[in-house]
Structure 1
Amino acid sequence: MAESSRLHYPPSECEVIPDSEEVLRILCDEFKDLLEELQEQKNLKNKSHVQNFFREEFDKSVEDFLEVKKVKVLMNLSNSVCQIRTSEGSARGTGFLLFNRFILTNAHVIGFGNSKVFNPAEFTAVFGYEDLDQNGTKHVPIKHLKFSFHGKDEKGNHLDYALLELNSADEISGCPELLHHYKNNSPNNKSQICIVGHPGTGVKKMETCFVIGKENRQEAQFIHIMRLQNVKEEWDENQITYDSCFFHGSSGSPVFDVDCKLIGIHTGGYVYKGEGGKTRSVMEYAYAMQPTLDYIKAQARIKGHIDLLHQLRNHT
């Protein structure tokens, strides 16, 4: 490449992160051992091999959602994502159109577990909130809470969901029912997923991030210097863990795999107190869709909702 055609970036001064000396020391002490372990596991002979390994891994990871056809599919599916708000207009979380006129969100988004009885008049689902001026948004009243559960099912799976019935689906008739795009899939370590929701109680956003497999969760804790008691006991087969910037307000967001299939519901993260007492998250997680759908079907069967059960069976 000719000298005149090269891109030159001006040097930038690196600022030292306050109170980071101890973290830097720990990482430097561990780096050599981690590098030697990687070289042994992957049969990497020298520095060049290590660099090529990370370059190839990065290329494989980021290419999943770069295809235009996948972006188009996700943009269409994102129309079914809504923000859950109170009657006063404050945002509580995210939800998505599952099927017919039913939206799915987390139980904790609507305050499940409080002694106060759920009142549908206190909540509304806002579709199309993609700009701060809120032009084009559709505010759809919630008719009632159909089913909800927060805790462990009989198989030991953690669940956190609320199935809300909208007053009408006429205003969102063009939105795809995400149950049609459901797939019982557990993504592999380092595979990519995509989350669509309303983080920070703001406008709708989309993020792609990397799955943290079971075998790497402890390592992820160390890398982020997690100052909590060991949370390993809280993990179960129903969790999909990943590194995301989707925090408060994004609970209830749909999680898609690399084939743009619905695989989970974004629920929370392992948090710690950062500088100034601000809550930070080390690792986020979703609950897989299948146990949630199984429990909804069980509730529908017990309560005699035959039509609802029939619709769920047709799609799962």
Structure 2
Amino acid sequence: MPSKKNNAPKKQNTRDIMSCFKGFKCLCVGGEKRRTVEEDLERDSRFIEDLDDVTLSDNENPDLNTECPQKVDNLHNNKLNVQIERQRANCGASNTSLQKCDTTPVVDVVQQRGTSVRAVVDKGVSIVDIEEIYEKLRQQSPALRELMESRFPGDSYQKAVNLKKENFGKIQQSFSEVHRVKKLLRQGESVCKVVVKDVCQGTGFVLFDNFILTNAHLFKDCVEGQKLKKDVNVFVFFNYEDPEPDLNYYYYELAHRDICCTQDDLDYAVLELNPESQKSNQSTQTQRRKVPPGLLKMFGPMPQNGEACIIGHPKGEVKKMDLTFIIEKEKREQAVNDHLHPYKESIFTLLTIINLLKDQGLENIMMGGTKADKVGTYNTFMYHGSSGSPVFDARGRVFGLHTAGYAYEFINHKGSVIEFAQPLLTIFEHYVSTLKEHGKDELLERVKKEVKGNSDLEEVLKSVVELKDEPADPEELLDYIEPMDTD
């Protein structure tokens, strides 16, 4: 892409491509491999959104055109000339040319799903139409402001902030005991980074033996039935903790392409590692390490409230830990409102963020929603790359599979209002049912031995699998024999 000869202009409110280039001989545009030219230009707010009439020609070879749908992989340091169709470039350049532009009433256009006011304005609607939509927004502003203020009457917002501080204090107290921290760190050794090569990165943890539990959405479009596609490669990294250049991790490939992967509401996948494929980033590493112990035997029920801890690899970075607390389902709406409160002065921003959240199905986890009783919710900084992280309670039990959050990104505003985890007992029930359905008796027997002593998991097994009567351990029976009274 073009090299930079002058300081690039600051991002403008308008996306007029002609004014963008005015006074500049060359602009530098950043590109990312596997994305198209059009995608990277649209991500740069200095350019117009509609690039249908834009073509790029090579400065050294003017007859060589670069199409917008073309990948940017081979365009590094290329100098390209931007050419715009004359009729498009003149549109809006003068009062007379305005008559040739789109004069569709902006109110009609923005009612189409997925079309923003800014996108309509950028396409050149008439001044009258723009004023019309601004007037509509001004009419709605008092009512929306009144609604927001009604949700935080008096000093209720400050009380909400104080409550957050109080909850954070409880978290600090719960996880301040050294023995709890040590236990979490030991359990955290089983957490791993999952890399689907050239697709995405996520987090997982050892379930038992060489089996890993993570989220199924990491493998979207990468599976056929219950098998990974032939061109999909997966690597699982352990001990990815120390910062550069001291990283000392080791990783595995999968034992086979079979995968227990769900496509329904339960977003989980179980992978099997090949222990013989272990490799290390340290050339001096010769001794083979064992796969860390599994966390299945530590599964527990989803708490309705209380403290929680997430361990994972946000953004594919080194392992991190976040202390948080469960947001009760009755308080989820209030938690979202608390997060959005700072935006109440900007009606346009607030409406845009709310619509983004609704499109993601935020209402499903609220009271009365289809997922209200099926997930646990909390706030965390663990966004992309943390999918598949285990969620622990203050006692060190693993109760949730961190799955997703309701995030937004709009101009200079970026964040997540609430995140959620799926209950591991529900996932375990589905997993053993799948093993039984597919006749994997040997693996099912291994699971039975692994969960022995965990009353919650044994109860789930009884509801799914008919347990065979096993001879009691003589040493265990001695615990129930009371000494005879010889008097």
TM-score (structure 2 length as normaliser)? 0.51
Flag the structure with larger Rg.
2
Tell me the residue number matched to 1:193: 308
C-alpha contact 1:92 1:110 (8 A) present in aligned 2: no
Q: Deviations over 1:61-116 (max 9, x none)?
A: 4311111111101111111111111346x751011111010001000112257669
Change (3 A) 1:283 1:58: closer
Identify which of 32, 57, 80 aligns with 2:153: 32
What are the within-5 Å matches in structure 2 for residues 158-177 of structure 1?
Answer: 158-168=265-275, 171-173=288-290, 175-177=292-294
Change (3 A) 1:224 1:98: same
C-alpha contact 2:375 2:420 (8 A) present in aligned 1: yes
Would you tell me which structure has more strand in proportion to its own residues? 1
Is 1:104 aligned with 2:239?
no
C-alpha contact 1:254 1:265 (8 A) present in aligned 2: yes
Moved more, 213-222 or 243-252: 213-222
Does the residue aligned with 1:32 lie in a helix, a strand or coil?
A: coil
Change (3 A) 1:25 1:245: farther
Moved more, 140-149 or 212-221: 140-149
Higher relative contact order (CA 8 A, sep 6+): 1
Q: Percent identity?
A: 32
Tell me the residue number matched to 2:254: 142
Tell me the residue number matched to 1:203: 318
Aligned residues: 273
Amino acid at match of 2:427: T
Q: What CA RMSD, in Å, does the superposition of the two structures yield over aligned residues?
A: 3.1
Is 1:253 aligned with 2:389?
yes
Residues of 2 paired with 1:306 and 1:114: CA distance? Answer: 24
Is 1:76 aligned with 2:193?
no
Identify which of 396, 402, 416 aligns with 1:266: 402
Change (3 A) 1:114 1:175: closer
Is 1:180 aligned with 2:297?
yes
Is 1:241 aligned with 2:241?
no
Q: Deviations over 1:195-241 (max 9, x none)?
A: 11000111110111111111001111212226132513342322010
TM-score (structure 1 length as normaliser)? 0.76
Moved more, 247-256 or 167-176: 167-176
**Structure 1 residue runs without a partner (length 5+):** 1-21, 40-49, 152-157
Is 1:62 aligned with 2:175?
no
Residues of 1 paired with 2:321 and 2:213: CA distance? Answer: 18
Q: Deviations over 1:183-203 (max 9, x none)?
A: 1x22233x1111110001111
Residues of 2 paired with 1:25 and 1:249: CA distance? Answer: 39
Change (3 A) 1:195 1:56: closer
Residues of 2 paired with 1:60 and 1:219: CA distance? Answer: 20
**Structure 2 residue runs without a partner (length 5+):** 1-140, 279-287, 341-352, 452-456, 458-487
Query: What is the deviation of 1:172?
Result: 4.8
Does the residue aligned with 1:292 lie in a helix, a strand or coil?
A: helix
